[in-house]
Structure 1
Amino acid sequence: MDFFQLLPPELRFEVFLSLRTRSSIMLLLRASPTMLAQYRKNKILIQQAYYKEEFDTGMFQDALAIIHFPPQDTPEPNTERILGHIVQWSKRALPNPFEGQDHTTLKSLDNLYDRFLIFIEDYITKATSAHPWWTCIGEPDLSSKRGRILFRGKPKDIDILKIDSLNKCERKRLFQAFLRYEVLSKVCYLRREWPDKNVVDRIIKKVYGKLRNWQGEAIRCVYDYLHDLEGALAAHYTDPWLSGLSPESVLNEKDDDGDSNFEFPDTVWFRHMIYVEEFAEDNNFEHWHTGLTLCGFDPITSLLTSPRDNNACSEQLLHCLKAERRRLEETLNR
């Protein structure tokens, strides 16, 4: 028996408002046909209440700015249109999709939230790991089997730290940092193309000019996390022995003299650039360290979901790194 059918619709709606995480709502929908029907009837109101609770006005505008950001990867991007979008965002004046029941934008908002949810859970799992090197060398699974860390297509024996375990303040700080980084990556992408760079700088300062030290540090942490993801992708191409490595094997690995092959094995640090530089050297091109990371999450997402070769390595990594290198060179040579 579905006991929720004994409740009046008003109370069923209040039950949804009391659930503070997406996973809790999804579990309820799977368990109760009555609540599923109620959700379908009041979906927009429930979504609105959820995002109002989880996002402040600035975060919501950041999310809308990301969703509606005009294309920049075209041969001749419309910089005037892009600048107009940024100005509207800086005034916190992007249209609220709930007011006009813009279902397309609301669907995009849910997709953005779900994508960042996976990256944030991957980030906090790696940041709190007892074996950071072994954990960071894996990549998040963006497929329908999400909730795993993979290396060469195989799941690593790692328990994902779910965002449900965080309180509201912690969730907000993480989403805020990831949203801000993504907006800034898109704005700074325009800055490379825009003749009067002071225009874009003034807009950024207007919106984010009064960040506290910890807020700036949070954005830098997202930058470092993207660097590590780039390194993890490159690591898939190097050293086949990495596939079978575990924390225990790191601690027990010995050379011919009986000494450990790993210096300070209990505090191993994941140095992403070692793998990226080795990958670049193997493919005969000079890699620029910050190019891909400064482009935000779109390139990394594309690489993580791109076709794989027989070793489960992304087939697009070399092309993506070279394309970004060429674009940066063209910008500097203007």
Structure 2
Amino acid sequence: MCSHPSLALPLSGTLLNDAIAIVQFPSPEAIDGDPKIVDRHLEAWASGKIGKTACDEQTLCALKRFCEKLKFYIEDYISKATSSFPARAYLDTPSPIPQTRKEHTIQMKDLLSSESERLMTAFIEYELLCKINCFSRSTPRFNFKHLERCGGRTVSPWRAETLQCVFEYIRSLYGALFARSSNAWLPTDCTQLVFPDNVLFGVQQYAEDMDLHPSVSPYMADTLAAFGFDLITSLLDECEGVSSEPRHGRGLFHGLARWLRWTRTCGLSPWLNPLSATPDLSWPDSPALCQRLLQLIPNTTDEEERLSMALVKGGGNRIDENLGTQLHRQMQIYRQRAWVFFDDARLFPESSRPMPCFPTAEEIISAEARAIRQYTGINGARVQHRSRFWHETKMPPYMDPVRTATADEDTWDDKGTPQ
């Protein structure tokens, strides 16, 4: 059996088989030389034979590095998810240096064994799907049936949601780099940002703050997240040590944006949302906390009228986005809180501002109404409050030298053509 006590994560059985399939996945060069090599590799993985054979030293070293990397990201995710101010916590890029870590840190040892297993399973399965998606030439994108080929697994709606949460986490890592590259403000409390930015880390909004082309900014994080942990690790390493120079990351992502447009790689998220706009799922295989939280998600079309009435009672006279967007925000907040992994709420703060850790749809609608009443031009106010330049000078964010320097390098005409 290819396992070892020195591994940072306790892998065995199907998980070990998946992990070895990842670290032994054929390289791009090998695939170019033999297009069928991926199919043979996946057949060996699906048979379950990979994890039952003895490891050579090279594979064991690769497994150690892989487990250390996953443990690092899992601990970063659960630390941010259980923060009292997650919209601020997600602005930080993860650091392997202990002295740079924040005061609120949750480690794997703080988790129950059931919680650790759920997280390891989701992170490993996500990475395996990314490998298949990126390098297999004969398979459709992100087909969950690939996972069902091995170990008798069934990807239930709850299991699919765990993968969606990992996807949201990797998107947030790109969002942190976007924020750094857009010279974003690092708030000390929730009053320094405008709803929903004070409760939900808006990855797309920070991409827009970099002035990326509008055909790219809504989808850039989604597209990059589909490449798994290898790409984000490389980009984090690339940006390490240049945190005081936003132009570096800004130029990097503008270059990536051009590549995504020219290669037509950038598009809609490849992930299917397992929750419809009106979910009526009980998810019997999910942990107790998740089952309780499901009760807070509207599950019939009748809820739409009730939530609309909540907006009216709150004094709102208009809303910039439809109710479906508000429900989507609720799901994003829950995913950033890692809602499907924990047995209970013991690791979450007893109180959080400006709303509970897991707000209801009514609370989100009411907060939107209050923000609309408070600000004239709420979208502009959100952009201002996300800008470090605005907080320090009270001048419009578009005058930020970081933004104007990039604009000189990468401008667009009305048709979206580079100048």
Shorter-chain TM-score: which interval?
Answer: 0.5 to 0.7
Aligned to 2:207: 276
User: Tell me, what secondary structure is at the counterpart of 1:292?
Assistant: helix
Match of 1:18 in 2: none
Q: Deviations over 1:105-155 (max 9, x none)?
A: 11111111111111001100111111010001111014xx14745xxxxxx
Q: Is the 8 A contact 2:179 2:206 kept in 1?
A: yes
- Residue 296 (str. 1) matches residue 252 (str. 2): no
Residue matched to 2:216: 286
Number of positions where the alignment pairs a residue of Structure 1 with one of Structure 2 = 260
**1:319 — aligned with what?**
255
Relative to structure 1, the CA distance from residue 212 to residue 277 in structure 2 (aligned partners, 3 Å threshold; closer, same or farther) is same
- 1:213 is matched with which residue? 157
AA aligned opposite 2:149 = K
Out of 176, 184, 189, the residue aligned to residue 232 of structure 1 is 176
Equivalent position of 1:161 in the other structure: 106
Question: Where does residue 43 of structure 2 map in the other structure?
Answer: 87
Aligned equivalents of 1:91, 1:75: Cα separation in 2: 21
Candidates 112, 120, 124, aligned match of 1:175: 120
Q: Deviations over 1:191-212 (max 9, x none)?
A: 5x43x649x7764442376123
Structure-2 change in CA distance of 1:161 and 1:197 (3 Å): closer
Determine whether 1:70 maps to 2:1: no
Task: Please give the TM-score of this superposition, normalised by the length of structure 1.
Answer: 0.67
SS of aligned partner of 1:210: coil
User: For 2:223 and 2:29, how far apart are their aligned partners in 1?
Assistant: 14
* Superposition map of 1:68-217 within 5 A: 68-72=24-28, 76=32, 78-94=34-50, 96=52, 99-100=54-55, 102-142=56-96, 145-146=97-98, 148-149=100-101, 157-191=102-136, 193-194=137-138, 197=140, 203-207=146-150, 210-217=154-161
Distance (whole Å) between structure 2 residues aligned to residue 77 and residue 279 of structure 1: 39
Q: Which moved more, 1:210-219 or 1:168-177?
A: 210-219
Give 2:204's aligned amino acid. M
Distance 1:122 1:239, change over 3 A: same
Letter paired with 1:286:
V
Partner of 2:321: none
Q: Is the 8 A contact 1:118 1:147 kept in 2?
A: no
Q: Deviations over 1:229-249 (max 9, x none)?
A: 111110002245x14x212xx
Native 8 Å contact 2:175 2:203 kept in 1? yes
Determine the structure 1 residue equivalent to 2:188. Answer: 246
1:121/1:201 Cα in 2 relative to 1: closer, same or farther (>3 Å)?
Answer: closer
Residues 291 and 325, structure 1, Cα contact 8 Å, conserved in 2: no
Q: CA RMSD in A?
A: 3.5
Distance 1:73 1:285, change over 3 A: farther
CA contact (8 A) 1:71 1:77 kept: no
After TM superposition, give the deviation of residue 320 of structure 1 in Å: 3.8
User: Which letter does structure 2 place at the counterpart of 1:59?
Assistant: L
Partners of 2:266 and 2:182 lie apart in 1 by 30
- Helix, strand or coil: the match of 2:105? coil
Q: What's the offset of the Cα at 1:295?
A: 0.7
Deviation at 1:82, TM superposition (A): 1.5
Cα drift, residue 61 of structure 1? 0.9
Amino acid at match of 1:92: G
Indicate which of 43, 53, 56 corresponds to 2:12. 56
Contact 2:175-2:204 within 8 A present in 1 as well: yes
Deviation at 1:216, TM superposition (A): 1.5
1:311 is displaced (CA, Å) by 2.1
How far apart, in 2, do the equivalents of 1:78 and 1:280 lie?
41
CA distance in 1, matches of 2:172, 2:258: 18
Partner of 2:167: 223
Distance change >3 Å, CA 166–CA 179, structure 1 → 2: same
Determine if contact 2:44/2:50 at 8 Å carries over to the other structure: yes
Relative distance call for 1:53 and 1:220 in structure 2 (3 A) is: closer
Superposition deviation, residue 222 in structure 1: 0.1
8 Å contact 1:79–1:190 — kept in the other structure? no
Give the aligned partner of residue 238 of structure 2.
Answer: 306
Cα pair distance change 1:230/1:81, threshold 3 Å: same
TM-score (norm 2): 0.54
Following the alignment from structure 1 to structure 2, what is the Cα–Cα distance between the partners of residues 112 and 320? Answer: 26
Bigger RCO of structures 1 and 2 (CA < 8 A, at least 6 apart) = 2
Q: Which has the higher helix share?
A: 1
The letter for the 2-side match of 1:303 is: L
The one-letter code matched in structure 2 to 1:179 is: I
- 1:76 & 1:330 partners in 2: Cα distance? 23
Shift of residue 79 of structure 1?
2.7
Which residue type is aligned with residue 319 of structure 1? G
Match of 1:8 in 2: none
Gaps of 5+ in 2: 269-419
Structure 1 pair 238/57, CA: closer, same or farther in 2 (3 Å)? same
Which residue of structure 2 aligns with residue 23 of structure 1?
Answer: none
Does the aligned pair in 1 maintain the 2:125–2:147 contact within 8 Å? no
Q: Which amino acid aligns with 2:79?
A: T
| CA gap 1:158/1:312 in 2 versus in 1, 3 angstroms | farther
